[in-house]
Amino acid sequence: DGGITQSPKYLFRKEGQNVTLSCEQNLNHDAMYWYRQDPGQGLRLIYYSQIVNDFQKGDIAEGYSVSREKKESFPLTVTSAQKNPTAFYLCASSLETGGTNQPQHFGDGTRLSIL
């Protein structure tokens, strides 16, 4: 079945450590997105990418980095510069047809905590 796979499901980060969250999709979608969700809150956009080798900052990009070397993959690195990384991270993808009617498809998320 086609879908988006995020790993790991749970991740713990030590102080001063960089950690990378994986996101892989086999839907042949052009665009991919990373969101952060704090408890009881909505989704905030971290980074998004419309095509391979190109990505743009979202609303809360500081302390995060991404790469898009392959269409299927959009890993997110939470750097040590992100002082409050504890949150639920969701990866999403969508077709880019130029229309309005393409919903985003989401992975199951990664819960990141500080040790």
Kindly list the residues in this chain that would bind another protein in the complex (CB under 8 A).
Answer: 31, 33, 40-43, 45, 48, 50, 56, 58, 88, 90, 92, 94, 96, 98-109, 111
Is 6 or 82 the residue whose CB approaches another protein more closely? 6
Is 3 or 18 the residue whose CB approaches another protein more closely? 3
Measured from the CB of residue 58, what is the shortest distance to another protein in angstroms?
Answer: 8
The three-state DSSP-derived secondary structure of the chain is CCCEEEECCEEEECCCCCEEEEEEECCCCCEEEEEEECCCCCEEEEEEEEECCEEEECCCCCCEEECCCECCECCEEECCCCCCCCEEEEEEEECCCCCCCCCCEECCCEEEEEC
Measured from the CB of residue 80, what is the shortest distance to another protein in angstroms?
Answer: 25
